[in-house]
Amino acid sequence: MTRRISRTAPVGLGLAAVLVISGCLGGNIDRSARAEGASRCGKLRIAVNPWTGYVSNAHVIGYVAASRLGCKVTYPELKEEVSWQGMSSGSVDTVVENWGHPDLIEKYVTEQKTVLDAGLTGNDGIIGWYVPPWMAQQYPDITDWKNLNKYASLFKTSESGDKGQLLDGDPSYVTNDEALVTNLKLNYKVVTGGSEAALITSYRQAEKKRTPLLAYFYEPQWFFSEMTLVKVNLPPYTDGCDADPKTIACDYPAYKLNKLISAKFAASGSPAVGLVKKFSWTNDDQNAVSEMIANQSLTPDAAAQRWVEANPEKVAAWLD
């Protein structure tokens, strides 16, 4: 993820009738109509980037596309930049949770016009540095970045040497952390943790064993329902403070996450184009699906199905 990281009113009776007739609300589906829908929709290729919240978006959209529109959905697992390249070439139809990427927007949206903005997901994204609850309780001033050097020795590891360790996530997550450490003159070394799952495991162990941990993390994120991580306050974000990646010395901005579609897909006439554009939900919605995947051992499709069946009004709005 580039970490450079309302509820819908009930549908009217007329719309509900249309959805029932088309099979959108279940029941007996006319096979010829379903076949026609499948023929019109064809393939839908949703890129899947490596974090659970994204997987939730992708499989909920994919489940609705397959079960309501008859699409043949596939989920190529790709890193973020590769996903953009796929949309540009036409081998990927959509990215369903984008965290910014101003450089890629300039290249593919503005210059080449091979990728289009498909609207907001409804999710609010936050990126930052967090410590486990026990640390914030024992060292309450640690949540101010100005005090981090005072505690640097606590965070030393074999990988960070004589500096404190700042643990990052998947190597494909583009962060500002190296520049922040340098420009804020912090006695820390950024160490790559490997994945979202590795970060979560590190936080669990740190809280259980009361070992120091300072690590990159983000919302929306189901793990906050299990552990209340405490965010370190970096210098406040202001417009333009992150314009030059080399000189960044401010916190991450708040992200309004959005969806993207390939220009080829947008012009295809597929009914899935409207579904992707209209898809919108909350952080709580995403976290509910992610928690089922991560903690309840449901497959992404099973979790998506459970959420979709429990939220027919929201789904109906996406299909209107």
- The two tokens of residue 6 are 């309302």
Are the C-beta atoms of 189 and 163 separated by less than 8 Å? yes
Per-residue pLDDT of 138-197, as tens digits, reads 999 999 999 999 999 999 999 999 999 999 988 888 689 999 999 999 999 999 988 999
**Helix, strand, or coil (residue 61):** helix
Fold match, 13-123+257-319 / 125-231 = yes
**Which band of pLDDT confidence, cut at 50, 70 and 90, is reported for residue 26?**
very low
pLDDT of 15 > 60? The answer is no
Which of 154-163, 237-246, 303-312 is predicted least confidently? 237-246
User: What is the structure's pLDDT at 18?
Assistant: 33
Strands 215-219 and 115-131: antiparallel
**Which band of pLDDT confidence, cut at 50, 70 and 90, is reported for residue 40?**
confident
CA distances from 162 to 151, 159, 269 (A): 12, 9, 59
Please give the DSSP secondary-structure letter assigned to residue 241: T
Specify whether domain 13-123+257-319 bears CATH 3.40.50.720.
no
- The two tokens of residue 292 are 């089922």
Are the C-beta atoms of 263 and 113 separated by less than 8 Å? yes
Instruction: Note the pTM of the prediction, 2 decimals.
Output: 0.85
User: What is the structure's pLDDT at 170?
Assistant: 87
pLDDT of 29 > 90? The answer is no
Q: Which fold has domain 125-231?
A: D-Maltodextrin-Binding Protein; domain 2 (3.40.190)
Place of tokens 């040497």: 161
- The two tokens of residue 181 are 């450490």
DSSP-assigned letters across all residues of 158-185? TTTTTSEEEEE--TTSB-SHHHHHHHTT
Place of tokens 């997987």: 55
The residue type found at 264 is: K
**Which band of pLDDT confidence, cut at 50, 70 and 90, is reported for residue 9?**
very low
- State the average pLDDT over residues 85-108: 95
Instruction: Give me the residue spans of the domains in the chain.
Output: 13-123+257-319, 125-231
Rounded Cα distance between 279 and 61, Å, is: 7
Mean residue pLDDT across the chain? 89
Rounded Cα distance between 114 and 255, Å, is: 23
- The two tokens of residue 204 are 């669990």
CA 241 to chain centre: 23
Q: What sign results for the dihedral spanned by CA atoms 218, 124, 143, 250? A: positive
User: What is the structure's pLDDT at 39?
Assistant: 54
- The two tokens of residue 217 are 């993390």
Are the C-beta atoms of 94 and 265 separated by less than 8 Å? yes
